[in-house]
């Protein structure tokens, strides 16, 4: 299991060389654990988290359904703060399952990336 995590961190380092978030176009970061999913919109220039959402308090549904609700929640919060576009950072995870569900739900709710 440690080797998988090391490889994921290498992929993430490669991704972070290419992308960064600004105040007008923040970075949408997905953090996936075995039980939960956390999502943040980060302004890397200022080093601050602008908006965050998590499924920790949500108990019902499968992991993918909870990830979909987190995607819509982060998009709604971002649109309230007048953030329309962002850069998607999958954090080294493969783009399928919960990560894909978050991205698609955020796009459907109006966030552009």
Q: What's the CATH number where 73 sits?
A: 3.30.420.100
d(CA 21, CA 1): 30
d(CA 48, CA 53): 15
**How many domains does the chain divide into?**
1
> Does some domain include residue 7?
yes
Who contacts 10 (Cβ-Cβ below 8 Å, separation ≥6)?
92
> Does some domain include residue 37?
yes
For the entire predicted model, the pTM comes to: 0.89
> Does some domain include residue 113?
no
Residue tagged 């992929």 (tokens): 11
* pLDDT tens sequence across 19-58: 988 888 999 999 999 999 999 999 999 999 999 999 998 8
pLDDT at 64: 95
Question: Which residue range(s) make up the domain with 33?
Answer: 2-108
> Does some domain include residue 94?
yes
> Does some domain include residue 59?
yes
User: What proportion of the chain, given as a percentage, has pLDDT over 70?
Assistant: 99
> Does some domain include residue 87?
yes
| Among candidate residues 100, 74, 98, 70, the one with its CA nearest the CA of residue 86 | 74
pLDDT at 2: 82
């Amino acid at each position: 299991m440690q080797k998988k995590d090391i490889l994921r961190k290498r992929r993430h380092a490669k991704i972070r060389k290419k992308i960064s978030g600004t105040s007008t176009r923040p970075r949408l970061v997905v953090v996936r654990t075995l039980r939960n999913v956390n999502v943040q919109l980060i302004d890397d220039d200022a080093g601050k988290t602008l908006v965050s959402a998590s499924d920790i308090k949500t108990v019902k549904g499968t992991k993918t359904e909870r990830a979909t609700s987190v995607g819509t929640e982060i998009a709604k919060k971002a649109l309230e703060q007048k953030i329309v576009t962002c850069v998607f950072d999958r954090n080294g995870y493969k783009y399928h399952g919960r990560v894909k569900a978050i991205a698609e739900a955020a796009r459907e709710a109006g966030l552009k990336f």
